[in-house]
Structure 1
Amino acid sequence: MKQYDAYLFDLDGTIYRGSRVIPEALRFVRYLKQESIPFLYVTNNSSLPPERVAERLTAMGLPTQAQDVYTSSMATAAFLKQQLAPAAPLYVIGETGLITALEQAGFTFAEDQPQAVVVGIDRTFNYDKLAVASRAIRSGALFVATNGDAALPTENGLVPGNGSLVAAVRVASGAQPIVVGKPNRWIIDFALQHLGAERERTLLVGDNLHTDIEAAANSGLDSLLVLTGYSTAADVEQHPVKPTYLADNLWEWHKHAQSIR
């Protein structure tokens, strides 16, 4: 088993479930802090800025700084900076996290002749927004999505995720989006740059084969699937992309890794 110098963590199902931190994950993160091993929380959630995500984790008993969090909104802003001129006009469907990230990257916002249409989760999404977005894309605007998660888990069951909004814009515009978030590699590449970590010495940890583990495979990273969230051990047998490691939880994996060194 390799020794890793840095870690990328998914959040929901990996670090916490609902409003409660997973004890074994908390214990492992405390170990990393004690040993000064760098890590970053990487989330497809585009709705909140990193400061708000850090506040939520801190409230769960896991003290976190904004610099410890990397969101799909931040990755989308970084991607667009590579594609467009500074201060390029965008049409944005999204919430505070996405708008803030794009503002901080220097972009402007416009409904008429935007250079790109950017779609993140937006709980005020409506027909008018769909019409503006599809018209702009048909006129040549780049179509970019923060992530493609079709549904989101809540205490009341699954609710529509950003992928559902992206699907509506895709059908209305007749265009395929560029999706920045997991399982695509853009968010992982930008997260590694943000952390200053080497790809071959970094482990990606998540609970979802379809997003986290596929993101690691698409990015050339080793991966650990923890069975504290979405995917099960039985799912691993059926899924074409396998994790490098499989464990009931983060601390169990850590103990096993330590015991064989």
Structure 2
Amino acid sequence: MTNKKYKGYLIDLDGTIYMGNDRIPAGEAFIHRLQTAGIPYLFLTNNTTKTPRVVQKRLAEKFNIETGLETIYTASLATVDYMNELGLEKTVYIIGEDGLKEAIYEAGYKKERENPAYVVVALDSDLTYEMLALATLAIHRGAKLIGTNPDLNLPSERGLLPGAGSLVTMIEAATRVKATYIGKPEAIIAEKAVEKIGLPKEELLMVGDNYLTDIHTGIDNGIDSLLVTTGFTAPEEVPGLNPAPTHVVASLDEWEV
């Protein structure tokens, strides 16, 4: 298909470049075309459970994509960038997995259970009631509540599981405090991704399979969007999407870079 030539791409991973543990050959070929053409891209993921290094290794070993660490920007990294900007005391209580904890602790933040400056909540498959209690009490004492992403559900082979947004919502209900959300489609991750790739918004295209997160990252933040119907948002939903994505394809093989 013919299209506007974009100078840079912000690209979702799961459902767009691969599907869980399964390959999407058109997604792999799309990245190879960008690499051959020398067009800059940034993988933009709400997944906080994996570090950029783990994401990089997985892309190379399972999906035939060799890419630099600087091309991977996770909600964990965006959370750290946001916390650094706020400049509060570097103490934090985290509900989340290793990818998030590693990013925050490597940035010099110290674990604090009683009186942290921040409570950061992400997906945590080992969640306990005590963890929720500690987070709630810390927020009552004045800690700032950050949700890494607003995804209420996590697609899996078992079906739709509770996502990070569901855990944050529970703590919001217990504290009557609204969280600051970082991940797609929020402005925080979008602005930081634009800054990182170093191109104006009008020269960028946001590519993804999820209308609610990926495509709204574009729509809500003044960036053109390309919906590929290989994942979350089904082809039959497309006619009813309002506002519509800038572009829609059934496969990334259809897209000329």
Task: Identify the TM-score tier after normalising by the shorter chain.
Answer: over 0.9
- CA distance in 2 between counterparts of 1:66 and 1:114 reads 30
- CA distance in 2 between counterparts of 1:216 and 1:128 reads 38
- CA distance in 2 between counterparts of 1:65 and 1:100 reads 19
- Maintained 8 Å contact 2:235/2:250: no
- CA distance in 1 between counterparts of 2:194 and 2:68 reads 17
1:125 aligns with 2:127: yes
Quick one: percent identity of the two aligned structures? 39
Mean Cα displacement is larger for which, 157-166 or 208-217? 157-166
- Structure 1 segments unaligned to the other structure (5+ residues): none
1:83 aligns with 2:86: yes
Matching of residues 147-158 of structure 1 within 5 Å: 147-158=149-160
Mean Cα displacement is larger for which, 244-253 or 149-158? 149-158
TM-score, structure 2 length as denominator? Answer: 0.94
Letter in 1 for 2:8: A
- Structure 2 segments unaligned to the other structure (5+ residues): none
Query: Could you give the per-residue CA deviations for residues 185-232 of structure 1, whole angstroms, max 9, x where no partner exists?
Result: 211111122222221101000011100111111211000000111112
Letter in 1 for 2:163: G
Letter in 2 for 1:230: F
1:40 to 34, 39, 42: 42
Instruction: Give the superposed CA RMSD.
Output: 1.4
Matching of residues 1-261 of structure 1 within 5 Å: 1-60=3-62, 61-85=64-88, 88-254=90-256
Task: Give the Å deviation of 1:105.
Answer: 2.2
- CA distance in 1 between counterparts of 2:135 and 2:20 reads 33
- CA distance in 2 between counterparts of 1:200 and 1:227 reads 23
- Maintained 8 Å contact 2:26/2:253: yes
- Maintained 8 Å contact 1:39/1:68: yes
- CA distance in 2 between counterparts of 1:40 and 1:99 reads 22
Task: Give the Å deviation of 1:147.
Answer: 0.4
